[in-house]
Amino acid sequence: MRLKVIPVLAALLLSGCAPVQTVVNPAQLPPATDFGAHANPMEWWYVSAYLPAEGLALHWAQFRVQDSRVPVPLMISHVAVTDLRTGQLNFLEQPAGSGEVTSPPLRVRHGAWTLTQAGPEPTAPLSLKAGPLDLTLTPVKGPVLHPPGFSGSADTGVLFYQGITRLDLSGTVNGRAVRGQAWLDHQWGNQIPGRSALWDWFSVHLDGGRDLMVYRVRRPDGSVAQLIGSVVEPDGRVRAVPGLRAEPGEMWTSPTGRPYTLGWRLVSDEFDLSVRAVRREQELLSRSTRIAYWEGPIEVTGTWAATPAAGTGMMELVSGTWSP
């Protein structure tokens, strides 16, 4: 196989030319500490952060794609940094190529971009060096498996879902010293983004130490296949959100004509929260994955157990496939 064919095959797998493979059993859940690589078609590690005091928002995503048409797993990676003071959004991609993942301690490498953990303990600090990012991420809480342990359904494919919802962040972005808090996710399974599933995802650091995750998986026709949410308490305990509803609000159409829901009301038996996008112009068009998605910072206000609540976080809205 010629080398130049490999990026094309990786993009086709991500954008929908490969069938969903039924190799994931949601009845057999992994441990929350399972950060290493797996023998599944799709896997990714993901760090995101909204740093209000710094006027910055960022995310790094490392995909690991496996397909029988390619002899080795392929790595594809993204970094996006938004300067909210200037309105500048920089999106960098590393196209499909070789790399490595080992654990424990966790080490993820694609070219010169690396995520490296300082020791085998699940809460050991991590070093992220990727393009403009040179960051140290120190877990404030331990890893969790988000209830029910996976995202998706039988018809969309399933991704196991675990991570660390709150990490202290320090280091530099584009050479500028920054501090704040970050979120780390790890997912793997047989769900193919853009083809078998789309989604709306929210990660929120609430004042007082709670963390909230909401995940709405959609079929390509727009119908909702799954809605899940989890709360990670200040002491690290994780639990499912009871009676969850996600009500779409304000719509925005990007310059490419794709609609995104940028305003939401998240409601459950214990909270009533409004979600507002800090900045509209956050659509990302990935040449390496051929996926169009919106990724950006959010602010959250409302009530929790009838008392005022507020927080900040990141939102990801996957629109579907696109052709460069």
Every domain of the chain and the residues it spans: 38-321
3-state helix, strand, coil in the chain (%, to 5): 5, 60, 35
Q: Which residues contact 206 (CB under 8 A, 6 or more apart)?
A: 212, 300, 304, 309, 310, 311
Q: DSSP string spanning 96-154? A: EE-EEEETTTTEEEETTEEEEESSSSTTS-EEEEETTEEEEEEESS--EEEEEEEEEET
Hey, how many other C-beta atoms are within 10 angstroms of the C-beta on 275?
25
Taking the C-alpha atoms of residue 217 and residue 189, their distance in angstroms, rounded to an integer, is 14
Average pLDDT on 213-223 reads 96
Q: How confident is the model at residue 6 (pLDDT cuts 50, 70, 90)?
A: low
pLDDT at 1 over 50: no
Taking the C-alpha atoms of residue 138 and residue 166, their distance in angstroms, rounded to an integer, is 9
Tracing tokens 């159409």 back to the chain, one arrives at 253
Taking the C-alpha atoms of residue 309 and residue 312, their distance in angstroms, rounded to an integer, is 11
pLDDT at 22 over 50: no
Fold of 38-321: AttH-like fold (2.40.370)
Counts for the chain of helices (H) and strands (E), in that order: 1, 24
pLDDT for 3 = 44
Average pLDDT on 301-322 reads 97
pLDDT at 181 over 70: yes
Q: What is the pLDDT of residues 55-67, one digit of tens each?
A: 999 999 999 998 8
pLDDT for 12 = 53
H or E stretch at 238: strand 238-240
Could you tell me how many residues make up the chain? Answer: 324
Q: What is the pLDDT of residues 121-164, one digit of tens each?
A: 999 999 999 999 999 999 999 999 999 999 999 999 999 999 99
Collapsing DSSP states into helix, strand and coil, what is residue 233?
A: coil
Query: In sequence order, what are the beta bridge partners of 226?
Result: 217
Q: How confident is the model at residue 11 (pLDDT cuts 50, 70, 90)?
A: low
Q: How confident is the model at residue 101 (pLDDT cuts 50, 70, 90)?
A: very high
pLDDT at 264 over 80: yes
- Pair 258, 64: CB distance under 8 Å: no
- Pair 197, 185: CB distance under 8 Å: no
pLDDT at 97 over 80: yes
Taking the C-alpha atoms of residue 67 and residue 10, their distance in angstroms, rounded to an integer, is 8
- Pair 30, 40: CB distance under 8 Å: no
Q: How confident is the model at residue 70 (pLDDT cuts 50, 70, 90)?
A: confident
Q: What is the pLDDT of residues 33-48, one digit of tens each?
A: 999 999 899 999 999 9
pLDDT at 176 over 50: yes
- Pair 97, 63: CB distance under 8 Å: no
Collapsing DSSP states into helix, strand and coil, what is residue 37?
A: coil
